[in-house]
């Protein structure tokens, strides 16, 4: 099937390449000429495991191409819209400028029978407001939210755990849903749940999933705050309650909290939209979720200060990680970089290392020192701070090896990912998040 993908950022580029990898003819469209030039040459504009391979393969096979010309969308049966919805500068609400711009540009090239599939994370009610404009062209709007995990985005697109399609009522919606089933035929054939809903439900599925995950993370971080004043161990607490099948252990890892381009801005936009709908009290707890999350960054900084005797001034601190999570070069709302910048502001000599995100970080925070090689980064450090749980920091940095390179013996484990007993046995002062 011929598909177009409007917006070739993180979501769109992965979706375009993944759809080509399962046999569709795909054209990706974006206004950013540099991005399109890179993609057209088979160069992934960001780090995402597996993307480079399917991008190169699709271009070589001739069923994947990229352009800045929206007219190239004409003739496609399904048009996916996957542009960004950043937080507005002056409020928590989502900025729909890019979504509205994408639809404005696409509408002249739609034909009767076409399907427009929105994938952007939008405030509930957005699809209903866009649907009449799409219908005027004879096309049908569906809302098909994405559930990508950075670091696993290719896998989550090619082999998702569920597919959701918000469609209009009646025969038009049934036809649109059948077309989407055909688009995702490999997943549907293997039994992946395909859930057909109305527009509002499809929009809420995405934001409520993110709200739940953020709440679960902040819950265990709130327990970490209690553990820190009682002497309890939050990791043991999480293990114990995680055995309850109703709760589960996943996302109960206490630490410096969540970041990235989705969870923080999505829960804020959800709160803002609920206020607009007159139901702000229904998700008022999300403000607390956000506040708890930000407090854990403060706590990590304080642990470094405490570990270095009350001051980090002119002390060399190596921050292990810059990306908001491993297997990604995404630094949007990164807790890791936030901690690094705060330590720098307190007078520390901060060195940051990361396997993938150094260049992105350097562009935004040039005041920090960046060293690509891990061992060189920790050499002569007074303290180490683990903030992004890359394996080369969590599992592949023996404390004895670190001791041979550093000057000090203070380690702050912002992700509770290190073996505390092993580091202490090697002579380190170990500080965890919510751990005695």
Structure tokens at 288: 């607390």
262 assigned to active site? yes
Whether 134 and 107 have beta carbons less than 8 Å apart is answered as: yes
CA distance 286 to 214: 8
Mapped onto helix, strand or coil, the DSSP state of residue 146 is: coil
CB 51 within 8 A of CB 20: no
Residue 398 makes CB contacts below 8 A (sequence gap 6+) with: 422, 426
Strands 2-6, 78-81: pairing kind: parallel
- The radius of gyration of the chain's CA atoms, rounded to the nearest angstrom, is 23
Question: How far, in Å, are 202, 288, 311 from residue 228 at the CA level?
Answer: 40, 19, 21
Distance of CA 371 to the CA centre of its chain: 24
Given 262, 312, 322, 357, which residue is catalytic?
A: 262
Contacts 24+ apart (CB under 8 A), 420-427: 422/398, 423/399, 425/399, 426/398, 426/399, 426/400, 426/402, 427/399, 427/403
**Is the dihedral angle over the CA atoms 413, 380, 390, 395 positive or is it negative?**
negative
And the tokens for 173? 């919606």
Catalytic residues: 262
């Amino acid at each position: 099937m011929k598909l177009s993908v409007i917006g070739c950022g993180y979501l769109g580029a992965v979706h375009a390449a993944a759809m080509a990898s399962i046999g569709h003819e795909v054209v990706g469209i974006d206004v950013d000429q540099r991005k399109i030039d890179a993609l057209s040459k088979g160069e992934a504009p960001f780090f995402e495991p597996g993307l480079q391979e399917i991008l190169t393969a699709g271009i070589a096979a001739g069923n994947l191409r990229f352009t800045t010309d929206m007219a190239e969308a004409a003739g496609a049966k399904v048009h996916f819209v996957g542009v960004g919805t950043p937080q507005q500068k002056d409020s928590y609400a989502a900025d729909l400028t890019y979504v509205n711009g994408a639809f404005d540009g696409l509408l002249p090239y739609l034909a009767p029978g076409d399907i427009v599939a929105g994938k952007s994370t939008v405030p509930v009610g957005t699809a209903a407001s866009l649907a009449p404009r799409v219908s005027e062209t004879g096309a049908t709007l569906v809302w098909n939210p994405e559930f990508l995990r950075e670091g696993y985005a290719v896998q989550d697109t090619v082999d998702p755990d569920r597919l959701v399609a918000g469609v209009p009522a009646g025969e038009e919606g049934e036809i649109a849903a059948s077309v989407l089933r055909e688009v995702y035929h490999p997943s549907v054939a293997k039994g992946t749940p395909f859930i057909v809903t109305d527009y509002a439900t499809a929009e809420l599925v995405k934001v409520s999933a993110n709200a739940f995950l953020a709440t679960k993370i902040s819950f265990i971080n709130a327990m970490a705050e209690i553990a820190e004043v009682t002497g309890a161990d939050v990791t043991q607490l999480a293990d114990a309650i995680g055995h309850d099948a109703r709760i589960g252990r996943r996302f109960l890892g206490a630490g410096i909290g969540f970041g990235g381009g989705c969870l923080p801005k999505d829960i804020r936009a959800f709160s803002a939209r609920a206020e607009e709908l007159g139901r702000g009290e229904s998700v008022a707890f999300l403000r607390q979720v956000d506040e708890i999350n930000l407090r854990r960054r403060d706590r990590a900084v304080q642990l470094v200060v405490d570990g270095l005797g009350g001051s980090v001034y002119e002390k060399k601190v190596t921050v292990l990680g810059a990306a908001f999570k491993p297997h990604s070069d995404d630094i949007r709302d990164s807790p890791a970089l936030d901690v690094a910048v705060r330590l720098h502001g307190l007078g520390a000599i901060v060195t940051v290392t990361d396997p993938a995100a150094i260049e992105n970080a350097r562009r935004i925070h040039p005041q920090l020192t960046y060293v690509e090689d891990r061992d060189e980064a920790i050499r002569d450090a007074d303290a180490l701070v683990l903030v992004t749980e890359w394996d080369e920091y969590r599992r592949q940095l023996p404390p004895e090896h670190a001791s041979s390179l550093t000057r000090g013996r203070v380690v702050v484990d912002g992700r509770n990912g290190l073996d505390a007993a092993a580091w202490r046995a090697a002579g380190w002062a170990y500080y965890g998040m919510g751990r005695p």
